[in-house]
Structures are given as structure tokens and as C-alpha cells.
């Protein structure tokens, strides 16, 4: 299977170079306009891709109208501390089993979405996002890739204050503010990539390189994550797995996101998502966070 799938103004489309082809209209309705559903049979998309000729009606790809390629996933999983250099920058040991949290699907946003900050403790986490194709349960790691329809770029934006407000920390809400999960720009089928297990990933803030890693360094690789999750929750087409972030996040350096900051996240072979931050008024609960608050792992170290 081989394809690049986008959400163009709310409709699933195949991307061919700088053109896009609307899937539903090209197939006279045989295939639908909703990406999640299409991914239950990724071979249909590959077949369509192969059958397209230059004569097929297409549009110039307008990146400003791209939506999240999977606009309405049933489940969105996140993986914490899945790169050794990120675990150590937080003063944590690498986990023995995948550390899983959820991002609620209302956080999913377009590849060029504005990120709405509600406190001064928001942070970036550039991540490779796995998109499930054929679903299943109790999947072996050996067959993990068979259930992956594609890969895309994501940001696991995190309000560290909310994330660390409870003891033990509660990751899910702090990572689930609206707009905190931009994904895209397209979903790329794994066979489009030279090596889908070793992808170069970078995050820049206002052009400054902050994260520079490779997914070859994932502690729990993609097939392992698919297998692990599927032994708990049945996976279905369009489910997303944010696979974790490499070292270089802001909180470890005392650098948080502010109004106007631009986050640029790139994975070679997939593409780039660009998200400008806007500082909205505090949410009412932010006021309960004490001035000078810092992450628990920092508070226990000697001052800096």
C-alpha cells in the first residue's frame, strides 16, 4: 500500500505532489470522504492511488485549508518518556512498560492550527503519530505493522502546570486542552518511507532548533506499542498513537511557550506542521497554581 492522505477542507483527499484528488468524487462515491473509515481498508487507497492518471481532476494543494487528516479519531493514545534522553532530562528512569495516557479527541487540530495557551506553563513535544488502519485486539508485536495505515507529524502540546498539578501527575488533561493536538500535514503509508522505523524529527521554536531526534531511539517501538495497547483496548481505524517526544522540551530548560511563538515540527519524508501560539486569558483553575511553581522533579534538585 502506498499513499499520502490529507483532509482538504473537511474531505479526504489523496495527495500527489502539489495536487490533491478528492476521493469520494473521483470514485463516484464508491469510497467515502471520511479518512478514518477509509483507513480500515488501506489497500483500497493504494489501489486508487495506483489507478490515478494525470487526467483525473485534481486541485492545487492549498496548505491553508488542510484539516487534521484524522479529524475524529475514536481513541487517541499518548506515550510518555519513550526516548531515553527525554526521560533523563526530566530526572526520570526510562519505564519498563509503555507509560500510556490519553489525549481527548477534542484536542485534535489542523496542521496549521493556532495553539491556544491558557497558562504560562505550556510546552511543546514534537512526535511521530501512528494512525491505525485495520483494527483488532490482542495483536502480536510481530504483526504490529499490519495494523498501521500510516504515520503523520504531531505536537503533544502540554500544560505542565495542569499535568503536574496532582500527585501522582495526571497527564491526560494537561495534554488535552482544545488545539493541543495538531496533526498532519498528511498521513503517509509506511511503505512510502525508506525506513519507517528511523525517521528524523525536529521541533523549532521561532526558527530555533529545540528538538532533534530519530524515531530509531524509541524505547518502545511502533509494533510493540500497537501490540501493548491492543491487549487492553480494541483498536480501530483512525485511532492515533502519539509515540512520545525526544529530548529538548521546554520545561527541562525553563522555556515555556508564549503569545506569538511559532512551533515548527518536521519529520523527514512526511512533512511539516506549523503552529502559531496565542495566549488566551488564564483558565480559572490556573490561578490555583502557586507563583514560582516548578515541576516536582525540578523542585527536588538543587536550585539552578
As measured in angstroms, the least distance from the Cβ of 21 to Zn ion is 33
Query: Can you give 190-246 as a three-state secondary structure string?
Result: HHHCCCCCCCEEEEEECCEEEEEEEHHHECCCHHHHHHHHHCCCCECCCCEEECCCC
Beta pairing, strands 76-80 & 240-242: parallel
CB closer to Zn ion out of 26 and 245: 245
150-158, 195-203, 229-237, 271-279 -> range binding Zn ion (CB under 5 A): 150-158
Interacting span for Zn ion (CB under 5 A) from 102-110, 149-157, 219-227, 283-291:
149-157
| Beta carbon nearer to Zn ion, 71 or 174 | 174
Single out the residue of 72, 103, 94 nearest to residue 241, CA to CA.
103
Nearest approach in angstroms of CB 150 to Zn ion is 19
Please, where are the H alpha helices in the chain?
Answer: 23-26, 35-38, 42-51, 84-89, 160-163, 171-174, 222-230, 296-299
| Nearest distance, CB of residue 159 and Zn ion, angstroms | 12
- State the Cα–Cα distance between residues 135 and 205, nearest whole angstrom: 36
Site for Zn ion contains 156 (CB under 5 A): yes
Residues 23-62 binding Zn ion (CB under 5 A) are none
Q: Which of 34, 123, 125, 239 binds Zn ion (CB under 5 A)?
A: 125
Position among 119, 245, 265, 275 found at the interface with Zn ion (CB under 5 A):
245
- Given a contact cutoff of 8 angstroms between Cβ atoms, the answer to whether 182 and 275 are in contact is yes
CB of 103 to Zn ion, least distance (A): 9
**Which is nearer to Zn ion, 190 or 244 (by Cβ)?**
244
22 touching Zn ion, by CB under 5 A: no
Closer Cβ to Zn ion, 21 or 115, answer by number: 115
What's the closest the beta carbon of residue 166 comes to Zn ion, in angstroms? 18
CA angle 39, 106, 285 (to 5 degrees): 155
Residue number of the CB atom closest to Zn ion = 156
- CA 80 to chain centroid, in Å, comes to 13
Please give the radius of gyration of the chain, using alpha carbons only, rounded to the nearest integer: 19
Does 159 interact with Zn ion (rule: CB under 5 A)?
no
Question: Which residues of the chain form contacts with Zn ion (CB under 5 A)?
Answer: 125, 156, 245
Amino acid at each position: 500500500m502506498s499513499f499520502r492522505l490529507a483532509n482538504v477542507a473537511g474531505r479526504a483527499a489523496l495527495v500527489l505532489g502539489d495536487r490533491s484528488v478528492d476521493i469520494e468524487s473521483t470514485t463516484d462515491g464508491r469510497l467515502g470522504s471520511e479518512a478514518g473509515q477509509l483507513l480500515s481498508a488501506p489497500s483500497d487507497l493504494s489501489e486508487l492511488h495506483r489507478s490515478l492518471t494525470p487526467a483525473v481532476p485534481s486541485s492545487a494543494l492549498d496548505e491553508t485549508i488542510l484539516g487534521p487528516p484524522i479529524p475524529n479519531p475514536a481513541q487517541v493514545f499518548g506515550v510518555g518518556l519513550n526516548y531515553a534522553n527525554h526521560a533523563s532530562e526530566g530526572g526520570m528512569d526510562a519505564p519498563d512498560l509503555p507509560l500510556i495516557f490519553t489525549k481527548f479527541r477534542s484536542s485534535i487540530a489542523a496542521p496549521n492550527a493556532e495553539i491556544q495557551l491558557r497558562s504560562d506553563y505550556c510546552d511543546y513535544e514534537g512526535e511521530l503519530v501512528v494512525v491505525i488502519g485495520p483494527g483488532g485486539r490482542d495483536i502480536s508485536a510481530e504483526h504490529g505493522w499490519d495494523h498501521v495505515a500510516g504515520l503523520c507529524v504531531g505536537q503533544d502540546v502540554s500544560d505542565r502546570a495542569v499535568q503536574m498539578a496532582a500527585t501522582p501527575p495526571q497527564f491526560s488533561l494537561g495534554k488535552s486542552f482544545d488545539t493541543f493536538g495538531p496533526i498532519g500535514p498528511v498521513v503517509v503509508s509506511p511503505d512510502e518511507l525508506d525506513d519507517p522505523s528511523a525517521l528524523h524529527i525536529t521541533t523549532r521554536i521561532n526558527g530555533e532548533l529545540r528538538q532533534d531526534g530519530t524515531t530509531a531511539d524509541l524505547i518502545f517501538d511502533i509494533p510493540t506499542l500497537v501490540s501493548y495497547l491492543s491487549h487492553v483496548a480494541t483498536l480501530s481505524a483512525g485511532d492515533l498513537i502519539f509515540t512520545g517526544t525526544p529530548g529538548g522540551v521546554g520545561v527541562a530548560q525553563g522555556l515555556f511557550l508564549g503569545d506569538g511563538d511559532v512551533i515548527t515540527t518536521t519529520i523527514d519524508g512526511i512533512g511539516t506542521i506549523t503552529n502559531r501560539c496565542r495566549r488566551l486569558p488564564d483558565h480559572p483553575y490556573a490561578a490555583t497554581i502557586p507563583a514560582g511553581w516548578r515541576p516536582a522533579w525540578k523542585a527536588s534538585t538543587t536550585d539552578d
